[in-house]
A and B are shown apart, each in its own frame.
Chain A
């Protein structure tokens, strides 16, 4: 074991003296996560509003309600409405590419709606544009759905309001009281279904922190960071174990092997150096995540154990690749391709939920999945050490098996004089 410590000490000293490669692998995940955060986490205000033309052939209460929807809160931010006198003018606006969509509210729309008869809204999408017409169509669909639901629930009181509006008379206190009471009764009836809603949608991005307007990019970066870090640590381990090939090429490995020490001690020492560098880099990335984006984990022992086991698995993986490679170039190329495939399948780059179903079936066969899943659960689900046991067990198994295979392959290579 003395040899093991000597090899470890020597390799760590060499890595300290040449810190460029580990530094690159440290900077990469932080830089990439930040880039993704800034790309997808920037304020939506900067997106240009969707321009739509509107032709109101109805002029009724429901039509006014729809038109006003485009001018209120979120609608006002997202849409810029131009009212056209008729369909010809509206169509011309579409043809001239002035608007992304044309919305037509047909005559009799309000009457049909309040009479609970089937009616429709026409949306003419601008074929020359990409996503904006789609957004307009989706928004109109939401409005149609909401209007239909409102009329079905509050049909009677709304009819009363409509009649009152048509008569052009000032509503009496008794009228307002009756309508309010009717609305109250209707809402109470649907209350158990509608309040509180069975599914509540909360959009954190629409409630920016007053003190820090750019917290969203950091949050997205933090979400992306574990996967990127897992990818980067695997690449770092590959780079660390390439040192084997360098030592073969420079003759220093042969020089150690002619010394009166067991060969496996030399192999193990070099693997341990890679393992330790991987752990040091994980710790540095964790510190960056805490200081930079306020990350936290519920279980510090869980984080420590996960990091130790992941570093072991990464080292074993890199050692197997290098032990099976015959040159300084083959290992990194083959290893990088495998790491990229694992990162893609294991959700390091793209959230697992966004992957096709058949790909998700393959994810658990990658070590990136177990490592990335473990870190995400620690950071976002407050997972405990006990909850991480499957991840830890699988990573340890991968690490031990791959390391053993690597030692056997290296031993065979040494005996063959390679």
Chain B
């Protein structure tokens, strides 16, 4: 945000001081203001449980999403993300737990709670034979919008997602990326205070992805609370204020991205591929770690792959690697990286997110 000042000749220093103070206030992100004004928790999930027969899909999940923040829900397929989102959106009746949107209990007053909620499902839930504008207008009308205000809002949302030129085109003629953007536009048309985004960038070209992420950030700046699920960990790292890692219906870890990274360890994450005997490997690691300043910790260990967190800088990691090579560990491939959500995920679940 840029501000232009006019400094008068009478008392330029005083005026400048005042304007500088104003700048400090005004240049704060709008999200910060929104956070103060809006209810603290827009989406609240407490001890949510849902089973399908004997299968427990969601097993006591709790989290909350304040206004103007994004909460990332990460987990492999079948972890319970979609069931959680279906319960929050009111499509599924939970077996136990409490859900509220904008302070309104979803169980006791679902219609009122849903007024504040926007949902962008993983599938492109649009009508192929309707135009982009008709699609958005129809869903806007379900939220009570009508007449000129609806038309204006439809045009505004379509412009925001970059679909205004094709607004009178039937959506069956759209590319995958355009359909995704239309999918997002429908979720935004009601000006939701809480937004559920279920993998909104799956299977689209980079340009459309950039556009969607820009729209998500803009929506966030307006104070909307967003629950975001994605398979793209870099998206979660760049977008999310807090992240919950879900597997087998439970949240395994929760926190900011930095907090989660620290749970793996400071320093470098070394991924090794080769053939490892567990005991011999642990002995080799113990020997090699004596030279490392901040310690070495095995994150995961399998027959053919291992992830090790090495404290200190790159130098410590190199020293550690020299140590284990000297110890005779059979290594075929080495990669080093800073701790990321991927390594957090592997540490917690024992597998990669896309497994």
A-to-B contact residues, CB < 8 Å:
3, 6, 10, 13-14, 17-18, 250-252, 254-262, 414-417
Contacts and interface: CB of A to CB of B under 8 A. Distances in A.
Contacts of A250: 123, 125-126
A17 B129 contact: yes
Contact of B142 (A13, A14, A256, A415): A256
Interface of B: 86, 89-93, 111-112, 114-115, 117, 119, 121-127, 129-130, 134, 138-139, 141-144, 170, 186
Contacts of B125: 250-252, 254-255
Contacts of A259: 114, 139, 142-143
From B125, B129, B143, B170, residue with most partner A Cβ within 10 Å = B125
Nearest to B85: A258
A128 B138 CA distance: 71
A301 to B, nearest CB: 35
A196 to B, nearest CB: 65
Nearest to B89: A258
A257 B124 CA distance: 16
Q: Is the interface of A mostly helix, strand, loop or mixed?
A: helix
A84 B121 CA distance: 89
A17 B170 contact: yes
Contacts, number: 69
Contact of A10 (B86, B92, B111, B138): B138
B134 A13 contact: yes
Looking at A13, A260, A414, which has the most chain B CB atoms within 10 Å of its CB? Answer: A260
Contacts of A254: 89, 91, 121, 125
A414 B119 CA distance: 17
A32 B50 CA distance: 53
B317 to A, nearest CB: 46
A252 B127 contact: yes
Given A18-B129, A417-B86, A251 B134 contact: no
Given A10-B138, A260-B142, A252 B126 contact: yes
Shortest 3 CB-CB contacts between residues of A and residues of B: A251-B125, A259-B142, A17-B129
B123 A6 contact: no
A417 B90 CA distance: 9
B142 A417 contact: no
A417 B124 CA distance: 19
B114 A10 contact: no
Contacts of B170: 17
Nearest to B112: A260
Contacts of B186: 255
Given A6-B142, A10-B130, A252-B126, A260 B111 contact: yes
Contacts of B134: 10, 13
A417 B129 contact: no
A256 B186 CA distance: 11
Contacts of B142: 3, 6, 256, 259-261
Given A13-B134, A260-B112, 18 more contacts: A10-B127, A13-B129, A17-B130, A250-B123, A250-B125, A250-B126, A252-B125, A254-B89, A254-B125, A257-B90, A258-B114, A258-B117, A259-B139, A260-B111, A260-B143, A260-B144, A262-B111, A414-B91
27 contacts: A3-B142, A6-B142, A10-B138, A17-B129, A17-B130, A18-B129, A251-B124, A251-B125, A252-B125, A252-B126, A254-B121, A255-B119, A255-B121, A255-B125, A257-B90, A257-B91, A258-B89, A258-B90, A258-B91, A258-B117, A259-B139, A260-B114, A261-B111, A262-B111, A414-B91, A415-B93, A417-B92
B97 to A, nearest CB: 15
